[in-house]
Structure 1
Amino acid sequence: MSEAVSPPPKRSRRGLVIFVAIVLVLIPLVAMHVLTRKKPARENTAIVVTVASATLGSMPVTLSELGTVTPTATVTVLPQLSGYLTEVGYHEGQEVQKGQFLAQIDPRQYQISKQQAQATLAKDRASLAQARADLARYTQLNERKSIAQQTFADQQFLVQQDEAAVQADLANIAQFDLDLAYCRITAPIAGKVGLRLVDPGNYVTASSSTGIVVITAVKPTTVQFTVPQDALASIVQRMNSGAKLPVTAYSSDNAREIATGTLYAISNQMATATGTVTLRATFANDDEALFPNEFVNVKLLVDTMSNAVLVPTAAVQTGAPGDYVYLVNANGTVSVHKVKLGPSDGRNTVILSGLAAGNQVVTDGTDRLSDGAKIEPAHAKPAAAGVNGASGAGGAAAKPEAASESGFKRLLQRVFPPAAKPAAPASSSAASS
């Protein structure tokens, strides 16, 4: 049985040598076939895009800036004299009118000082009356040459001194009247009071910097914001022509409109560090929607452009040529068209030059386009058929590759037939058995 199985290994070694030799010959042929095989040409299919036409319309020229609500007046009410605070006549957060009672300082000390000044005035007035009576007698005696001239002149000076003393007493009384008025603290402006800064019973002084209360004017109020120097010329020109430029205040997240007002003041200097100038707009603020020192977003309407060429903002591209759009040509292709942009409201953009009304531009699908690319508008139904045709062409192009691979396999099968089967010894052993 061992003698019958031993001859096949010699034939298998010979077949292995032949197999290796054929593989070494076929490798260069296969490599050359793969490298020189031409790829099937694919059709240049149209790219489905969305197009829109340039139209004529109006575009508001607005400036969007960050602003701060700035009250027209903020007053810290300070005591004008020293004394104990006996009464507070307001509630925290209350709206007060000009002249309304706010606080009371103990006035007794100043009332006593006034009474003393009044007593001094009465005394000085009596001295003045006596001096004037003596001057009248001295005048008669001087006319008859019965008195020395020096005595008459001294009496005249004495009357003047008593008159000055009376004037000083009157001034002292007026000062104490003013002190008594200062004891009753009233609101210097109309507005809303803040939190109380001092309680009744405390001793306040005229040098106190804390104050009694802070009053802020909230109706009307203003919003202060800055604009770049490049936009200043158009604003000044519009204001000098008498136009009232509307200003709209929005919340800090731009989610809602808070109030509308008008621009009324431009600063007289420009900030050299930032190249901006400060503007101020006034708002009625009857509903108190604008809170002092609040940050808001401001939109200033400078002008309105009429009969401007408008395109959707999505059509505007920026790249190496600058600002451009993909212009739809009559032959179904697109071309890169450079344009000059104007203001935008987010949805539409003004084209100052480079386009005319009626021109069609691509608004969606621009990332797949290039200059001269063939397009198919998205609203055209043949676009779907074009896509299917492209897939069919791809399938047809794949068939030669499959045919080439199957032919190569058949070639290998012819060169290496399944003759050297390792199952032959098993069959022989089975036959012997």
Structure 2
Amino acid sequence: MKPRLLLPLLVLLGIVAVVAWRLTAARASAQSATAAAAAARAPRSVPVVIADAVERDVPVWLSGIGAVQAYNTVTVRPRVGGTLDSVNFSEGQTVAAGDVIAQIDPRPYRAALDRAIAQKAQYDAQLKNARLELVRIRSLVASNAESRQLLEQNEAAVAQYEALSAGAQAAIDAARLDLDFTTVRAPIAGRTGVRRVDAGNIVTAGQPDGLVVLTQIQPVSVVFTLPQRHLAALRPGAQKAAADAASRLIVQALDDQGGVLADGRLDLVDNQIDAATGTLRLKATFPNASLALWPGQFVSARVLVETRPHAVVVPTPVVQNGLDGPFAYVVTGSNTVEPRPVKPGPVLDGYTLIESGLLPGERVVVDGHAKLKPGSLVRNAEHGARSAE
């Protein structure tokens, strides 16, 4: 080819190549814009946390606030007065029923007992003599050697000495009791408190402050209250408690964090409702083997009124409150949500029992409700949870 024809041909080929490149770029840009518009028109999925409604046996608890009370509390007071010879316990010591906890000077009471014994011996001697005299007088009266009046006088004398002897025996019994009361014993098993009198002091019978206060904390009681609306649920348990101790309702004492301190049994549903507060008082007994409960301690208490078999439960945040009442967002097979009315029951450890509205295995939204509306496309945003996509 001639050189003068080659240059125009090259220029023409360049122009053709540039036009082809521009057409290809325009086509690609148009396709990208179309795809972007389609993506903009497509609905976006909302990230939510999804869980399954599960079926299980659900214990139904009723919870209230209460306080721990000693099962028994006794202020130990002396029954007789005198010098306190010794105090035989340490503060905070656990004692058994009948243990000696103090000793009062017994000598005055031992002397009083000896005096009463001697007095009875005197009356017994006089009674013996009067009975012998009565036998002699009766024989004389039978032979008409003595008058009937003398016989009656001797019979009266015998009766008098018998009464004196019986009174002396009663004085001996009282003196023995007083002597026994000089040894102060624990009336119940329990733990001693602060010592209120030191050895060497003079104590009096029934002195107001006493010697020490004993509290029985094994077992221990918890008194708590519940709203009066729960009376119907509690009444069968109260009837069981009255009929059979083994069938009493289970009660748990809880700490501030909800941990179980001890397990016990319901003893009492009070016989009246507090009109001022509309509450019902209950009392439960705990063995308290680990001493987790202490008199005066505030605790939460819950009583197990029933166990519902095959109940449907969901995490508590699933249940939302709407204008038409409680509802839950249910995730459909196409990963969209629909609001469904539900009837919630008791709340138990972060889960809510569903009386009606949900079936076991249905997927429900736990978190992320704020951006949802009927028909919203969702995806499970919780790490490790079952995907909704």
TM-score range, shorter chain: 0.7 to 0.9
Aligned residue for 2:357?
Answer: 354
Question: For the residues of structure 2 that align with 1:91 and 1:118, how far apart are their CA atoms?
Answer: 37
Question: For the residues of structure 2 that align with 1:61 and 1:122, how far apart are their CA atoms?
Answer: 73
CA contact (8 A) 1:49 1:364 kept: no
Question: For the residues of structure 2 that align with 1:379 and 1:85, how far apart are their CA atoms?
Answer: 77
Q: Deviations over 1:146-199 (max 9, x none)?
A: 212112111110111011111111111111111000111111111111111101
Aligned residue for 2:379?
Answer: 377
1:21-420 matches, cutoff 5 A: 45-50=43-48, 51-238=50-237, 240=239, 243-251=247-255, 253-254=256-257, 256-329=259-332, 333-370=336-373, 372-378=374-380
User: What are structure 1's unaligned runs of at least 5 residues?
Assistant: 1-41, 381-433
CA contact (8 A) 2:273 2:279 kept: yes
How far off is 1:74 after superposition? Answer: 0.9
Q: TM-score, normalised by structure 2?
A: 0.80
Higher strand content, 1 or 2:
2
Matching residue's letter, 1:49: P
Question: For the residues of structure 2 that align with 1:141 and 1:64, how far apart are their CA atoms?
Answer: 89
The DSSP-based 3-state class of the residue aligned with 2:291 is coil
How far off is 1:45 after superposition? Answer: 4.1
**Higher Cα Rg: structure 1 or 2?**
1
Question: For the residues of structure 2 that align with 1:358 and 1:255, how far apart are their CA atoms?
Answer: 29
How far off is 1:375 after superposition? Answer: 2.5
Matching residue's letter, 1:375: L
Q: 1:97 to 1:331 in 2, by over 3 A?
A: closer
Question: For the residues of structure 1 that align with 2:311 and 2:116, how far apart are their CA atoms?
Answer: 80
CA contact (8 A) 2:335 2:379 kept: no
Question: For the residues of structure 2 that align with 1:231 and 1:272, how far apart are their CA atoms?
Answer: 15
CA contact (8 A) 1:49 1:366 kept: no
The DSSP-based 3-state class of the residue aligned with 1:288 is coil
Matching residue's letter, 2:231: L
Question: For the residues of structure 2 that align with 1:257 and 1:331, how far apart are their CA atoms?
Answer: 43
Q: Deviations over 1:317-364 (max 9, x none)?
A: 113222112234566654432211012224322211122234333222
Question: For the residues of structure 1 that align with 2:188 and 2:64, how far apart are their CA atoms?
Answer: 31
Percent of counterpart pairs with the same letter? Answer: 38
Q: 1:204 to 1:270 in 2, by over 3 A?
A: same
Question: For the residues of structure 1 that align with 2:60 and 2:258, how far apart are their CA atoms?
Answer: 21
Q: 1:366 to 1:163 in 2, by over 3 A?
A: same
Segment drifting more, 273-282 vs 134-143: 273-282
User: What are structure 2's unaligned runs of at least 5 residues?
Assistant: 1-39, 383-389
CA contact (8 A) 2:134 2:154 kept: yes
CA contact (8 A) 1:341 1:351 kept: yes
Matching residue's letter, 2:94: E
Question: For the residues of structure 2 that align with 1:327 and 1:321, how far apart are their CA atoms?
Answer: 17
How far off is 1:91 after superposition? Answer: 1.1
Segment drifting more, 237-246 vs 110-119: 237-246
Matching residue's letter, 1:322: G
Question: For the residues of structure 2 that align with 1:131 and 1:62, how far apart are their CA atoms?
Answer: 79
CA contact (8 A) 2:196 2:211 kept: yes
CA contact (8 A) 1:49 1:362 kept: no
The DSSP-based 3-state class of the residue aligned with 2:217 is coil
Matching residue's letter, 2:369: T
Q: 1:153 to 1:110 in 2, by over 3 A?
A: same
CA contact (8 A) 1:49 1:363 kept: no
Question: For the residues of structure 1 that align with 2:381 and 2:70, how far apart are their CA atoms?
Answer: 55
The DSSP-based 3-state class of the residue aligned with 1:259 is strand
Matching residue's letter, 1:246: I
Question: For the residues of structure 1 that align with 2:179 and 2:381, how far apart are their CA atoms?
Answer: 86
CA contact (8 A) 1:59 1:343 kept: no
